[in-house]
Structures are given as structure tokens and as C-alpha cells.
A and B are shown apart, each in its own frame.
Chain A
């Protein structure tokens, strides 16, 4: 083979999957590009100020009948898409597919509102492309197709929970009691990764080609490990009450959410670890989520007033991460929890159990607000007694859109 033949061999003929892959990739790149588009700072700032002022006024007035009317007016202004009397989940306002854990098991909910119960599993999460679901039930880890067809089952002696599929698609991490284990995406090669882990869901670093996992141990330390090489990338002391680990900025930042404030701001192995934002005395952080454009949303619960404020803040893209410019997006009686962002990071879902509503909010600020009422019964049809409020475990794009 001479140089010309080699050149011809490399350049000639279509490469497998090139066109289809190109279409899928273009959709992702286009979305990223759209997300990159930002309004001029002053305009963005003025909108936030207006929204903040409106929300503050609403929060003050919402307890009185005139205030209630003002709330309705505001919701109509920002674009409430589903009337409050709507009896059931008709469609997902932002599109995509949701995975919803309920007392009956996980449901796959499509953009048109149609849904399928996957089976009697305790909890589930999506594979990165939404082609599969990994579910847990007592001693079993189960890979299921979205139509409910079981691909494989792994049975362990202990109780298993919190299975999470790696962004590469090649690994699944899960907890078995106080141990953290990892299995290949096809159900083979199950092995121990760490023991003495806290009951916190492990979080895969959002990298397409490496399998790196963040987890918390029972001593209050946060670790990031490469599961294939077993290289320890990060190990920093944190808070014993860690509740959630969130990656931001493409895996350069790890946000550690705990019920009580923790000032971490540690950097190790190219990863900046950021703690929970400071809250007013006596308040509790219920949940948090990473939005587009370096924004972060969190639920600030005031136990005395039994109300929760949903706050948006900018996590400045410099070291250390500073939460600045907090803006109140929403306030409601009881707890606002289970914050989940859409695949394009533009929509924020949260559950409002006290109002039995699922709320979809278009960010930044409050561009649109869509509510879905009677959500508990929707996922426990025919159930006896008060229905348990469902938990959204994940949100992926529609098939073929990514």
C-alpha cells in the first residue's frame, strides 16, 4: 500500500453512521448555541429586577384576596399554559420525556402526556440517551427499556438503591447498603468501588469519554474517583449532612448540597468544590439544580412560616464560585422540592405537594410558568387514601431529537 492508496482508503467511502450522527450532533450543537445567546447585561438585569419586584409584591400580597387576584394576574402575564382547573396531565409544556417515581413504580411520561408504568420498582433513572432505564427493587438492579422490556437483572445480597447511569453509557453505579458498586452497562463485571458511603446518590461527572464518579462517605468526605483506573481525583472534607451532589460547568465544578450551610470552596484535581449557599437563620435548603448560563436554583424553606422560596443565583464563572444576585422566582406554602432541569437547561421543574401541582418554569427569571394540578392522583390512579406525591427522577429529550 503506497501513500496514495492509504490516502484514498482513508478518504473514500462513507463512514458508518456519519449522516445520522451529524444530524443528532447538530441538534445538540444548535441547542448549545441557542443557550449561549444572551441578552445584553443591562437588559437582563432590568428584567430580573422587574421580576424580583413583581414576585416580592406578590409574596407580600398573596395572603389576602386582592393579593390572590394579583397572583393570578401575574401568572397570566408571564404565560400560565395550563389552567388551574385542568383535570390531568395533558402534555409536558417544555417537551421531552420524564421519568417519574411513584408508589406504584416508575412511569415514563412522554411530551404528549401519555405515560407507561415500567413495573414494580422502587426508583429509576435514565441512561444518558434515554434508551434505557436502570431501576432498583429490594436486592435487584434492573435495566429496562422505556416500554418496560427487561434487558438484564443483577441480584445482590444486600438492599440496593440509587442506581445512576454514566454519561458514557458504559457504567452504572449503585449503592448496596453502605457500599458503592459499579457494573458495566450490559450488566456484567459488577464490582465494589468503595465502602462506608453515605446514603447520597452518586453523581457521574458529565464527561462523554471518562467514567468519573462523585460520592460522599459517612465521615463527611466528598470523593471523585475514576472508576476504570481507580485514580482518586478529589477527596475533601465536607458536611455530614450532605444531601445531593451536583456537577456544573461541564464537570469543572461540584456543588455539595446539605441541609445546613457549608463553606467549602476547595479546589483539587482541576475540580472546584462549592458548598451550600448561606440561608437566613433557621431556614433549610430543600433542593438545588444547575440551570443554563452559570445559573443555579435552590429551594429555601422557612419552617416557621412553612413556606418555600425558589431562588435563582448566578454562580460566577471564576474561582471561587460566588453566588450573586439572588432572585426569587417563586414562593409557595409548604415545601417546593424535587428541582429538575430540562435537557436544554432552560426549564425548571419542581414539585409543590401542598398544592398538589407540578410546576414548570422557563428560566432565566420567570419567562413562562406552566402548572399541572392533581398530580398525585395522576400517578396513583385508584389508590386508597391520600396519594403520595410523585418524584421526577429525570428528564431526557424526545427520541431522535438528540
Chain B
């Protein structure tokens, strides 16, 4: 779970007061989870980097007005997941105009090999972005369905049904995969 205790509040307070080292501590604490969440929704390392980076930039821009009594993680994750869903939807639109080779352009030339669980990644990739997002929020970021509903601005029932359908689809995908 992202750090939500005294350290984090101190980092936010320090960053608001102008301490770059506190901002760095906040960044380094939250980057891995933010990047991982974006990657698992968009399945594109370059896009995940852009999304997570843009989310942190949004955090910097809003730093002065951020209520430091609240945990930083949920606020950041909401931005990350919403942007990831937007990106994944836009990617689907691009596919409709025949752009399968999109990632070739301006892609980081040293594209890394797959390291996260390939089975889970492949199964997730087969889901619609909205289902991917709620599964990532539930099982990676470990938010409750109620919290996910609040963060995404959805009815709780919608979150539950997306979770259920997503899990069913994952289950059947894994069952179909040869071991």
C-alpha cells in the first residue's frame, strides 16, 4: 500500500514549502505503483511513462492547494487511472483507422522485455479498458469497491459488475491458455 502516514504528510508539507528532496521522496515512493497501474491498463511502456509523469506534473501544479490531511495516493491514482482509460480508449479509436504500427514511432528504442506476469498481462489485455482499470484498482492498488466508485465517479453497482465481468473474463482467458 502507498505510504499514508506521517512520512507522507511530512513530504507533502515539505514539498509545499519548497523542499525538492521531500518532493523527490514523495515521487520515489509513489512512482512504482503509479507507473505499474498505468502500464497494466494501457499495456504500453511509453504511454504508461507519459501518463504517470503527467499525473505527477498535475500533482506539482496543484501542490499549493492540496489538502495535506488527505492521503496523496488516492488522489494521484485517480488521475493515473482516468488518464489510462482515456488513453486506452483513444488507442482503440486509432486501431479503427488502421494504425497497428503506432508504437513504432517515437517509441523508446530500447523497449524492455516483458517482466511482469505474462499470463496476467495477456489476460488483462483482452478486457475493455474500463474493466482493466477496476481490476487494477482493486487488486494492485487495493481499493475497496466503494473507494473505486468514489474515485472514478461511478455507481458502486457499476464497479461491482465491472469487477465481476472482468474477473470472469480473466478466469476464462486463463483457462483457455495452454499451460
A interface with B by C-beta (< 8 Å): 1, 3, 6-18, 20-22, 24-26, 28-30, 32-34, 36-37, 127-129, 131-132, 165, 168-170, 184-186, 188-189, 208-210, 228-229
Contacts and interface: CB of A to CB of B under 8 A. Distances in A.
A358 B30 CA distance: 42
Interface majority SS on B: helix, strand, loop or mixed? Answer: helix
B116 A16 contact: yes
B115 A132 contact: no
A8 B106 CA distance: 32
Nearest to A209: B87
Interface in B30-51: 31-32, 35-36, 39-40, 45-51
A184 B102 contact: yes
B89 to A, nearest CB: 10
Contacts of A22: 28, 31-32, 35
B61 A13 contact: no
Contact of B99 (A1, A12, A189): A189
A25 B105 contact: no
Contacts, number: 167
A349 B39 CA distance: 37
Contacts of A9: 116-117, 119-120
Interface in B15-64: 15, 18, 20, 23-24, 27-28, 31-32, 35-36, 39-40, 45-54, 56-57, 60-61, 63
A3 B49 CA distance: 27
30 contacts: A1-B120, A6-B120, A6-B139, A6-B170, A10-B40, A14-B115, A15-B35, A15-B45, A15-B48, A18-B36, A20-B112, A22-B28, A22-B32, A24-B49, A25-B27, A28-B53, A29-B27, A29-B60, A33-B15, A33-B20, A36-B60, A36-B63, A37-B18, A128-B106, A170-B99, A170-B106, A185-B106, A208-B54, A209-B50, A210-B90
A210 B51 CA distance: 11
A3 B106 contact: no
B113 A16 contact: yes
A18 B49 CA distance: 8
Given A15-B36, A185-B105, A229-B93, A26 B60 contact: no
Contacts of A8: 117
Residue among A1, A3, A210 with max Cβ neighbours from chain B (10 Å): A1
